[in-house]
Structures are given as structure tokens and as C-alpha cells.
Amino acid sequence: MSDSIPDPQLFINRELSWLEFNQRVLDEAADPGVPLLERVKFLSIVATNLDEFFMIRVAGVKQQLAGDVVELTTDGRNPRAQLTAITERVHRLVMDQYSLYRDHVRPALEAAGIQLGARESTPEIARRIEAYFRQDIYPVLTPLVIDPGHPFPHLKNKSINLGIVFESNREESGIGFAVVQVPQISARLVSSGVGNSGRSWLFLEDVIARNLALLFPGRKIVSVAPFRVTRNWDLEIDEEEADDLLATIQQELRRRDRGNAVRLEVASDVDPRLLALLRHVLRLDEGDVYAVDGPLHLGDLMSIASGDDRPELHDEPFTPQVVPPFRDAEDPFALVSERDVMLHHPYESFESVMDFIARAADDPKVLAIKITLYRAGANSPLVRTLARAAENGKQVTALVELKARFDEEANIRWARALEESGVHVVYGVLGLKTHAKVCLIVRREVPGLRRYVHLSTGNYNPISARLYTDLSFFTARPEIGEDATALFNLLTGYCEPPSWKRLAVAPLNLRERVIELVAREAEHARQGRPARIVAKLNSLVDEKVITALYAASQAGVAVDLIIRGVCCLRPGLPGVSERIRVISIVDRFLEHARVFSLENGGEPEVYLSSADWMPRNFIRRVEVMFPIEDAKIRQWIRSDLLESQLLDNVKARDMASDGSYRKRSPRPGEALNRTQSKFMERAKVRARASVWSVPPTPFRATPNEEPALPPMPEIPAPPRVPKHRKKPR
């Protein structure tokens, strides 16, 4: 294999691999062994995932086409070929999605007493629906007729609209067109009032369609069809020209809704004349139109799934467990000063992390708290904790990433609230997204200052921490504390990068460190020493890392990859990747942790990271990878976490060399091994234990001999970042 010109046949297309991940989510919705309303959730997730895919990924490919970009993907496709392949695959996926809804999910919901959509209506029900329409909906509707004096209206991104065809004597064709936007101030699913269960629902667009005569009195309606437009939703920000990044992002957020249309969803029985008009004004090709036999945007079914509390329709309830040692620790700082601590979320409660930072906010010995915030959530208690810490006189620094996609508005609110509370707020590094998850706490102890560090694979978000699987790591090891201090100084003061003692940091040296470790493992194999790589990631895309893994496989290294989402590596290719195995696990919780384990010639090493192995993480983000030096924690990760997932025979799927996946099932006589269920049970056992069942090795961190905390550095003018031609990330 050439290092400079990789063979396209060795790579899976990134966009098509992502669509295969969405197919795996849809497969969970199709699984009759999954409780009914959990199946509805998976069906909803497919729809919301596709929204993001079109708003960012498809929009990016269309931008490449418009800009005459000729650069090929790693699998050898130009933008036109890639868009053609994407369109064909998405149409098949959407067809499967709606077939599943019509033929399986909706009948199952009806059998459970949940009715969706129009049914035979009695006069009483019709009167009730009309009364609701007149009182709550009619006053906010605006019928928009389309003619030379009334141009086609701007349609908001992801809004549902009704397209209306009516008879008109004014038009030569004898027909006219109108649009009514379905208001987003009201719930889309409206109770029909049938029965006493409150489980019969109508879609708001159907309610409006039934009452169009009130909106268009005297008009003869020929046809009506709901439709939905998806737009390019990515932000275009020239950070070099922005005097105030927060204000610039706010301005771009207001402009974002004017992005070009990239998809049109419409009812399958749409009038061809209306469809032709929509395609014309939105400038969409035939392949951009998704005509569906069912309600538009099944993502809104999530409200049905979350609003019905019948236990037989849901997964068995699980409460994240507060486990030793934090449950019993009167002083968590004393605990972490003696030994590293690892928590496995959501099985072990994220509240322990929140409580650790809250203790720091109120502890008179704590002098400073520094933290990175990427997705803090809509109503974050952590933000209030940081504000309280600043009010308590501590030096608090929060690096708030304003460019976290789809969380920009929430992060702007938090940034302003924190600034008003006296927190030093930094908006990130020019040209980069800060995706690392780091919290540094500086505490005065005898005989000097001690640094406590929390590092994580997931965000400081208590909501997503109940839904995503992640690993939280607490330590007072001096080397990691020094690296964390250097990292924050680098982010807030543009200092020169240090010689890192324990951390690897993107975009400085993370990719190089990963490739170096893979190459070291290959050399162990060539020398006959124990050699194995196990990596658990969300996505594997980076061409250079994939090439290094191929080389390791050819050198004799066994490589096991647990990749939840996109995987551009092709396992099992003769002479290239025969020793590489790839699995994906899609289950109740979203697999989110990033773990890297190496046999290292018989001296195993384990690293955790905020980064997936993708160019964007290595080049355009600030990311951190850190070692697990405690032998018992390291062994737990290798044996209990990684090996258990590799043996999952319920929710794991094996990847073939063509990018397809096959779901595993237990062999005859083989016990079920559903790892997420095992981790839930393990957390319950740990929570009941009177002591910490598997304590790490005590190490006794030595306080740093520092006389005082230095003042906040002045932030000089940022260095200029070279501009790159925009392409999809």
C-alpha cells in the first residue's frame, strides 16, 4: 500500500457507512423483542438522524457540486457520484422506514390502544375537532395564496406546511396554489378525544386540512398535501474577521434559516402540479423529493413514546446508581488524592461528577475551577454550580464552545449567564472546536497546592449522561494535573505547547500518538511478542489511522474494533485486514465511550479519549487522550468492558468487508450476553456493596509546591489560521 495514494478499494464511503448505522437503528425498531414504545423511539431517532444528515452532510456535498469541487473521497467518488449513491440509499432506507411504520408499528400501537391519524369520525368527534380548530388553531394561521402579487413564501427549515390546489378563474390553468404553515407553537399530535384513555391522536396538519373551508371560504379545494422542507443548516463563520465571536454566531444563527433547500418530504398522493411548483421554487431535483405513505417526520412520535407510562410497553426502568466510593466518601478530595476513580455512565450515576464539582464550588480550600463545556444542556445545574463558585470568590474559568452544532443558542445563553456571575468565559480557539472534556480543580492543602482532574469521554450534560455510555475518570496524579494546567493555559492564553507528560492533545500530536502506538504494536508482533489492539469508538474515518491498522494486521496484530457508527475500514480483506474484526452495538443506551487498549508486548496499556478517529477530531478540534495507569482499573476496562462487548451475542452486529452488518444471535446452548444489561446489574450490585468491590491501587499524590495561583494571563491577539476550502466534515 502506498502512503501517498491509498487504494480506494480499501475504504468504505463515509456517508454510506453512516446510513448503514441508521439502518441498524431502524433494525432495532423492527425487532419484535424490543418493547413497543422503545421501538417507536428507535423509529423516531431514524427520522431525526436523517434530518441532521441532510442539513449537514448532504448539504455539504451539494455545496461541493455547486463549487465545482473535483476532490475525490477516500473510496474514489467525486461529489456527483457520492450524491447519487447517497440518494439511492436514503430512498431505500425511507421506504423501509415507512413500510415498518405502516405494516408493523402502527398496527401494534392500535393493538395497544394507541391510535394515530384519521379514523371514522362521529358527528360529535367532528364537532369537537372543529371547536378546537376554531379556538386554538385558526387565529394563528395565515393562508398564503401564490400569485404575481403574492410570491412564494419562505418556508422555515423542518416546518410542516400544507400545499393547497384550488379552482381559480384568475389563472389560465384554471387552478391556483396556496400554502399554510402548520404552527409550531402547538403540539403536532392532538388528542381526538375518543374514549377515556386519551390515547387517540390526530396530526395537527390533518386537523387543519379538515377545516380548510374556514380558511378559504368560497374556494373550491381540489387537493391538499402536507410537505416539509429541509435546508442547509451549517454555520459559515469567518473567525478571522469576527471582532466578537458570540455576536457573529448569533447573527449567523438568524441567517441560517435562509439556507438552500436540500430535501422535500411530501405525501405520496400529492397533486403533480403542486409537486412541480415546489420543486421549481425550491430548486430541487427529482431525487431530492421523498414521497411517503404516512405522516411526515416520524421523529414527532417520540412524544407518544415518552407520554405513555405503561411499563409493559417500555424497557424495564433503570436508575443510575450512586456507587462506592463516592456514595460513602465524606471528603471526595481525600479519596481522589489517594487513588484514581473510574465511573461507568449511565450505569453509575453522573450525579457523582456533578457533586464533586459542587463540593469544589463550596469548599473554602478550593482556589480555582477550570472546565470545558461543549454541550452542557438546556437547563444545566453545572452552570449554576460554576456561577456559585465564582460568587464564592473562586477563580472560575469556563471554556464554552459556541460552535457546538445545534447547541449554539444554548451555549450562548450559558456563556452570558456565566459572565454575569463573574466567571472568566473563553469562547475557544480560533479555527478549532474545543471538544475535550476536562475539569481542573486547584485546592490548597498541606504542604502546597494540589490539582484534581476529571477527564471524560462524554459531555458535562446530566441529561445525555443518562442516555449515553461514557467513562469518567478522577485523578490527582501530578503529571496529569500539570498537563491539564498546561492545556488550559494553551486554550486561554495561546501559550506555547508544552512537552506533554501524559496527555496527547489534538490538533498537536493526537493522531501521531495513535499511529505511533499502532506501529509499536506491529513491531511487537514482528518480534514475536504479545500484540493486540482493541479500540472502542463512535466513528473510524481517518485514512492515515486506517492505513496504520492495515499495516498492523499484516504484521500479525489481532485487531478488534467496536465501532458504533461510521466505519470506513474494511475488515477481512485477504492480504490486508484478515486479522481485523469490526462489530457495532446498538442498544438501549447510545454507545459513546472512546477506549484504546494495546497488549504492548505483555505490558498492557489503556487510553481513554474525547476523540473519535476522524480527520475533524485530529485536525479541527481540541481533543484529549489520556492513559489509565491504575492496574486494576486498566484490567477492568480490558476484561469486563471491552472483552464483554466483543462477546455480546444479543445486540452486536458483525461488519463484513463490503460494509454490511449481520446481527449476532446465541449459538445453540450458548448463554445470552447482552452487555448493557450486564452493566446495569453490575452497577446495582456495586451500589449495594458496603465497600468498593474492586478498589484501584492507592498511589498517594504529592501536593505541588506552588506558593499561589497565578493570575489570569492576558490573551494576546490570536495567531492566524490558514484558510481551507470548505468541504463536508
Pairing of strands 261-267, 221-231: antiparallel
Check pLDDT > 60 for residue 119: yes
Q: CB 168: neighbour CB atoms within 10 A?
A: 18
Confidence band, pLDDT 50/70/90 cuts, at residue 726: very low
Give CA–CA dist 585/24, Å, rounded: 9
Q: Which fold has domain 119-237+262-294?
A: polyphosphate kinase like (3.30.1840)
pLDDT band at 236 (very low <50, low <70, confident <90, very high): low
pLDDT at 350: 95
Cell of 118: 384519521
pLDDT category of residue 711 using cuts at 50, 70 and 90? very low
pLDDT at position 415 is 80
Q: Where are the beta strands (DSSP E) in 299-429?
A: 341-345, 366-373, 395-400, 424-426
Per-residue model confidence (pLDDT) at position 722: 36
The fold of the 1-117 domain, in CATH, is Methane Monooxygenase Hydroxylase; Chain G, domain 1 (1.20.58)
Identical fold, 332-498 and 505-688: yes
C-alpha gyration radius of the chain: 28
User: Is residue 108's pLDDT more than 80?
Assistant: yes
pLDDT score, position 270 = 97
pLDDT the model gives residue 727: 41
| pLDDT tens digits, one per residue of 68-90 | 888 899 999 999 999 999 999 99
pLDDT of residue 327: 81
Paired strand residues for 450: 443
Residue 198 has pLDDT above 70, yes or no: no
pTM of the model: 0.91
Provide mean pLDDT across the span 319-347.
91
pLDDT grade for 725, boundaries at 50, 70 and 90: very low
**Rounded to 5 degrees, what are φ and ψ at 130?**
-65, -40
d(CA 701, CA 190): 59
pLDDT at 404: 61
The b-or-e profile of 549-568 (16+ CB within 10 A means b, else e) is bbbbbbbebbbbbbbbbbbb
Q: How many CB atoms lie within 10 A of CB 347?
A: 22
- What secondary structure does DSSP assign to 359-391, as a single string? HHHH-TTEEEEEEEES---TT-HHHHHHHHHHH
* C-alpha–C-alpha distance, residues 589 and 575, integer Å: 36
Compute the average pLDDT of residues 411-421: 83
Q: What pLDDT band is residue 712 in, cutting at 50, 70 and 90?
A: very low
- Is the model's pLDDT at 243 over the cut of 70? no
Q: What is the pLDDT of residue 378?
A: 66
The residues with which 468 forms a beta bridge, in sequence order, are 590
pLDDT at residue 241 tops 50:
no
**What mean pLDDT value characterizes the chain?**
89
Q: Which of 345, 435, 454, 592 is catalytic?
A: 435
Q: Determine the Cα–Cα distance for residues 119 and 440; give it in Å rounded to an integer.
A: 58
Instruction: Specify the higher pLDDT residue, 400 or 657.
Output: 657
104 belongs to the catalytic site: no
Does residue 196 register a pLDDT over 60?
A: no
Q: Where are the beta strands (DSSP E) in 232-274?
A: 261-267
Of 240-244, 307-311, 469-473, the poorest mean pLDDT is in 240-244
Helices (H) and strands (E) in the chain, counts: 22, 27
Which one has a higher pLDDT value, 568 or 172?
Answer: 568
pLDDT, tens only, 204-222: 999 999 999 999 998 899 9
Is the domain spanning 505-688 CATH 3.30.870.10? The answer is yes
My answer on whether omega of the bond before 719 falls inside 30° of 0, hence cis, is: no
Q: What is the pLDDT of residues 138-164, one digit of tens each?
A: 999 999 999 877 889 999 999 999 999
Sequence-distant (≥ 6) Cβ neighbours of residue 478 within 8 angstroms: 451, 701, 702, 704
Distance CA 712, CA 488 (A): 11
Write the pLDDT tens digit of every residue in 529-577. Answer: 999 999 999 999 999 999 999 999 999 999 999 999 999 999 999 999 9
> pLDDT digit string (tens) for 274-287?
999 999 999 999 99
In DSSP terms, which residues pair with 498 in a beta bridge?
none
Model pLDDT for residues 20-37, shown as the tens digit of each residue? 999 999 999 999 999 999
Q: Given a cut of 80, is residue 653 above it in pLDDT?
A: yes
Q: How far apart are CA 728 and CA 63, in angstroms?
A: 9
- What percent of the chain shows pLDDT beyond 70? 88
Task: Please report, for the chain, the start and end positions of each structural domain, with discontinuous segments joined by +.
Answer: 1-117, 119-237+262-294, 332-498, 505-688
Cell of 4: 501517498
Q: Is the pLDDT of residue 609 over 80?
A: yes
Report the pLDDT value the prediction gives residue 708, as an integer from 0 to 100.
38
Q: What is the pLDDT of residue 512?
A: 98
CATH number of 332-498: 3.30.870.10
Q: Is the pLDDT of residue 242 over 70?
A: no
More confident residue, 486 or 150: 486
Please indicate whether residue 714 or residue 299 has the higher confidence score (pLDDT). Answer: 299
* Phi then psi dihedrals of residue 31, to 5 deg: -75, 115
pLDDT bracket for residue 313 (50, 70, 90): very high
Overall average pLDDT of the 709-716 stretch: 35
| Band (493; pLDDT cuts 50, 70, 90) | confident
Q: What would the mean pLDDT of 587-598 be, rounded to a whole number?
A: 98
Beta bridge partners of 147: 150
At residue 401 the predicted structure's pLDDT band, cuts being 50, 70 and 90, is confident
Q: What is the amino acid identity at position 291? A: A
- Tens digits of per-residue pLDDT, 254-277? 666 678 999 999 999 999 999 999
Between 58-62, 549-553, 694-698, the lowest mean confidence (pLDDT) is in: 694-698
SS3 520: helix
pLDDT of residue 728: 41
pLDDT recorded at residue 245: 56
Lowest mean pLDDT among 127-131, 299-303, 619-623, 632-636: 127-131
